[in-house]
Amino acid sequence: MRLTSLSMMVIFLTTLVTCVQQPQETGGSAKGELGPPQGKPITAKLTYAPEVPPPINRQAPAKVVVELEVREVVMPISDGVDYTFWTFGGKVPGKFIRVRQGDTVEFHLRNHPDSKMPHNIDLHAVTGPGGGATSSFTAPGHESQFTFKALNQGLYVYHCATAPVGMHVANGMYGLILVEPPEGLEPVDREYYVMQGDFYTVGKYREKGLQPFDMQKAIEENATYVVFNGSEGALVGDNALPAKVGETIRLFVGNGGPNLVSSFHVIGEIFDKVYYEGGTRFQENVQTTLIPAGGAAIVEFLLEVPGTYILVDHSIFRAFNKGALGMLKSVGDDNLAVYSGKEVDSVYLADKAEETAAVAAAAKKLQAGKLTKEAQIAAGENLYKGTCSTCHQLNGEGLKGVFPPLAKADYLLADKRRAIEVILNGLTGPITVNNEQYNSVMPPMSQLNDDEIANILTYVNTAWGNKGQVVSADEVRGIRLGTKRPPGAAE
Ligand SMILES: [Cu+2]
């Protein structure tokens, strides 16, 4: 009996020792001072998303100087929609900062003289009250300086913490700082910087023009936009992240919030590794990872097959109705053993795949009072492809017995007002179009704004040999105000 408990004790102690040692063995998870800075001070190379500064590759801690300038700038949040962003470095998210565990970071925060607001910075990588916020309050045209030691490795969010804090964060004041372990991260082929944020505007999603911040919506956490890297188009089309088959990709993914937790997912990929919450340990074979507001994760995956991989917040209305959609394009040879190779992008992408510049151009001309029929048609064609063509087909011919035609359709062309109502309020019950019977359901499309509906109908009325009329946003507005939406439709 005695002997058994003794040997148990030995086993227990051995296990304990192994457990305690493990962090050192996996490298760098231990928090550490790592000694005084050595050599000359280094000025950190900062990058705009989606670029990441190169790996540190340094054997000893150093003094690293970080210089960041706050700017308040008007930039597009979506095509034809502008927003006044408050930024760390001129863009959203703020510039990526990369240091090594044990480095002494001398931080210089400047606030551009044109700024209207004071700002500061709270870096989650800082050990100390306010994460730097108390030492970095900076009025327009001023500079603050403070120093901290990067004790813990990991991927950390930084953000502004000036009152009203929520508003500063909601306007885009966040970014990422990576504190590498002393031995660095495993080498990969490509690293990218992606950061999600939610935005609150007075106008509806994609309502054109300069959109002010909406405090009430922000308090209610009712986001108008949820986007990666500061705008809807930041990682779409020509801005897709480039990659090649056979490469290992590492994404540093942050979530600035201010409110929403991200269910980060890449359609068509499995994360081989996720350093969840930006910490030391990794989980393997993950489909979707949670990224808290004010948190981050490092995800890694190997690209086995070519194609477009879609980055989304899998709270999926955010992806398709608020903008939380990006792309990574992998080029290279098919691997038919892994995937049959048929591209299915269009299933997901709809209007995101189309160039929406025509829509923005039409909105600009409308504001200037110079909207031409041609501009309406060009914008309408784009919107039609993204919104109506799934059912009525690109050529407007519909599907016999299921979706009525719009090309040369007597029902459509007989009554302009009725056509507007069909789009706003939907249509159910038996109808006859070109002598064919239909008895199905068209859902209301009232989430489209007045000029979008006007442009779509102007396109539909004049495409495919149709001889219908131009529709104006005012006409749509009148019918929106004068009719009732069915229950559940957007207002
Ligand atoms: Cu601020």
Query: Do residues 117 and 86 touch, judged by C-beta distance below 8 A?
Result: yes
409 versus 22: which is more confidently predicted?
409
Q: Please determine, for residue 317, whether its predicted confidence score (pLDDT) is greater than 50.
A: yes
261 CA distance to ligand 1 middle (Å): 21
pLDDT, one tens digit per residue, over 181-222 is 999 999 999 999 999 999 999 999 998 899 999 999 999 999
171 CA distance to ligand 1 middle (Å): 8
265 CA distance to ligand 1 middle (Å): 30
289 CA distance to ligand 1 middle (Å): 29
**DSSP E strand stretches across 350-463:** 427-433, 436-442
137 CA distance to ligand 1 middle (Å): 9
What does each C-alpha distance from 149 to 58, 160, 250, 280, 452 come to in angstroms? 16, 20, 26, 18, 53
pLDDT mean over 413-435: 96
174 CA distance to ligand 1 middle (Å): 9
32 CA distance to ligand 1 middle (Å): 31
pLDDT, one tens digit per residue, over 286-309 is 999 999 999 999 999 999 999 999
Share of the chain above pLDDT 90, in %: 77
119 CA distance to ligand 1 middle (Å): 4
381 CA distance to ligand 1 middle (Å): 41
**DSSP E strand stretches across 49-181:** 63-78, 81-88, 97-100, 104-111, 122-123, 143-149, 154-159, 174-180
pLDDT, one tens digit per residue, over 336-368 is 888 876 554 555 665 555 567 788 888 888 888
Only one residue has tokens 């990422």, namely: 176
Residue 443: what pLDDT?
85
pLDDT, one tens digit per residue, over 73-115 is 999 999 899 999 999 999 999 999 999 999 999 999 999 999 9
48 CA distance to ligand 1 middle (Å): 18
In this structure, of 55-64, 240-249, 348-357, the range with the lowest mean pLDDT score is 348-357
11 CA distance to ligand 1 middle (Å): 55
218 CA distance to ligand 1 middle (Å): 16
Q: Please determine, for residue 405, whether its predicted confidence score (pLDDT) is greater than 60.
A: yes
Residue 343: what pLDDT?
52
Share of the chain above pLDDT 70, in %: 90
Total residues belonging to the chain: 491
What does each C-alpha distance from 148 to 32, 36, 135, 138, 151 come to in angstroms? 13, 12, 11, 18, 9
190 CA distance to ligand 1 middle (Å): 31
Q: Which tokens hold the place of 359?
A: 């829509």
Residue 456: what pLDDT?
97
Q: Please determine, for residue 255, whether its predicted confidence score (pLDDT) is greater than 80.
A: yes
321 CA distance to ligand 1 middle (Å): 28
150 CA distance to ligand 1 middle (Å): 23
pLDDT mean over 414-421: 96
Q: Strand 271-275: give its sheet, edge to edge.
A: 225-228, 190-199, 248-257, 295-302, 271-275, 283-286
Beta 427-433 vs 436-442: how paired, if at all? Answer: antiparallel
Q: Which tokens hold the place of 84?
A: 């006044």
422 CA distance to ligand 1 middle (Å): 46
pLDDT-based confidence at residue 15 (cuts at 50, 70, 90): very low
Only one residue has tokens 């104006």, namely: 472
Residue 365 is which amino acid? K
Count how many Cα atoms sit within 13 Å of the Cα of residue 184 in the half-sphere of its side chain: 10
pLDDT mean over 314-339: 92
pLDDT mean over 442-469: 94
pLDDT, one tens digit per residue, over 118-170 is 999 999 999 998 999 888 999 999 999 999 999 999 999 999 999 999 999 99
146 CA distance to ligand 1 middle (Å): 17
165 CA distance to ligand 1 middle (Å): 7
pLDDT mean over 316-327: 95
- Which distant-in-sequence residues (6+ apart) come within 8 Å of 361 by Cβ? 80, 375, 378, 379
207 CA distance to ligand 1 middle (Å): 26
Query: Do residues 69 and 114 touch, judged by C-beta distance below 8 A?
Result: no
- Which distant-in-sequence residues (6+ apart) come within 8 Å of 150 by Cβ? 99, 100, 101, 102, 103, 104, 105, 125, 179
126 CA distance to ligand 1 middle (Å): 18
168 CA distance to ligand 1 middle (Å): 5
Q: Please determine, for residue 2, whether its predicted confidence score (pLDDT) is greater than 80.
A: no
Q: Please determine, for residue 11, whether its predicted confidence score (pLDDT) is greater than 60.
A: no
160 CA distance to ligand 1 middle (Å): 5
